[in-house]
Amino acid sequence: MSRNVLITGGSRGIGLAIAKELAKNGYHLAINGVRDEHSVIEVLEDLKQYGSKIIYCQGDISSNEDRIKILQQIKKGLGVLHVLINNAGVAPRERKDILDMSADSYDRVMDINLKGPFFLTQEVAKQMLQRKNERSDFKGCIVNVSSVSAHTASVFRGEYCISKAGMSMMTKLFAVRLGKEGIPVYEVQPGVIETDMTAAVLEKYQKMVHEGFTLVPRLGQPGDVAIAVKALVEGNIPYATGETIKIDGGMSIPTL
């Protein structure tokens, strides 16, 4: 059976790598991003080469109206939604000490990184539960892309850390609520991955990697995260839900 997947923030970076990995494996995709469709036309054409159905659902996941619109577009363009990948996220526009963080920056990051994914998941979960009596072994799957920042304190982007720590609890909450219904919920925690998000601080991280910051001696690539997400979506980590997979080159292991 071909499955339909929504990847928020699927138009570039980690989300796009996940999209490529899933398209290659026959999944039909709804790609979400904030830019208009015209700006991502080449990305969509590239994804279509694998033969899957690809639609673009432009919308800001922090907006209730946009979330509803995105799900309506999927219903019309693909039909039933089987898998949700909560990947879209932003860093604070400015890295500022928590003593100087503004309420506006806090709200923006929390709305996009946590409130949006929470209420999108709530809606998708309800749709999945409405279909629970259908004769299918696959009831659905949800993957949340959080970050090592869920457990690593960075005082210069505290709002980002709080949003990702919240996503960890959100993963557990939905895993508990949906576990008995046969819908696994997972969290993937990337470390430092080379994307537009890290472009401005890449030199600093490259130097840190050189000095032994990660056990795997390189920066992460979007494809590293995509491979893990594909394994989860394909059901290749059975008998697990609410679990976290760190794709961070080993940087999170406390050492003495």
Ligand X SMILES: NC(=O)c1ccc[n+]([C@@H]2O[C@H](COP(=O)([O-])OP(=O)(O)OC[C@H]3O[C@@H](n4cnc5c(N)ncnc54)[C@H](OP(=O)(O)O)[C@@H]3O)[C@@H](O)[C@H]2O)c1
Q: Please list the active-site residues.
A: 147, 160, 164
With residue 43 as reference, give the H or E element that holds it: helix 41-48
**Dihedral sign computed on CA atoms, order 184, 185, 190, 195:** positive
The residue (of 10 and 140) whose beta carbon lies closer to ligand X is: 10
Nearest to 106 by CA among 122, 94, 116, 92: 92
DSSP code of 115?
A: I
Size of the site for ligand X (CB under 6 A): 28
Residues from 31 through 60 that contact ligand X (CB under 6 A) = 32-35, 60
Binding status of residue 184 toward ligand X by CB under 6 A = no
131 touches ligand X (CB under 6 A): no
Tell me: does residue 117 bind ligand X (CB under 6 A). Answer: no
Binding track over 145-174 against ligand X, x by CB under 6 A: x-x---------------------------
Residue 130 structure tokens:
């409405």
Under 8 Å CB-to-CB from 88, ≥6 apart: which residues? Answer: 8, 9, 15, 32, 33, 61, 112, 116, 117
Kindly state the DSSP code that residue 150 receives in the 8-state scheme: G
Radius of gyration of the chain measured on its C-alpha atoms: 18
Site for ligand X contains 249 (CB under 6 A): no
Cβ nearer to ligand X, comparing 129 with 197: 197
Tell me the window of 26-34, 77-85, 123-131, 238-246 that interacts with ligand X (CB under 6 A).
26-34
Crossing angle of helices 222-233 and 13-24, in 10° steps, is 50
Instruction: Determine which residue in the list 161, 190, 228, 229 makes contact with ligand X, applying CB under 6 A.
Output: 190
Please report whether residue 21 would count as binding ligand X according to CB under 6 A: no
Instruction: Tell me which residues touch ligand X (CB under 6 A).
Output: 8-9, 11-15, 32-35, 60-62, 87-90, 112, 145, 147, 190, 192-193, 195-198
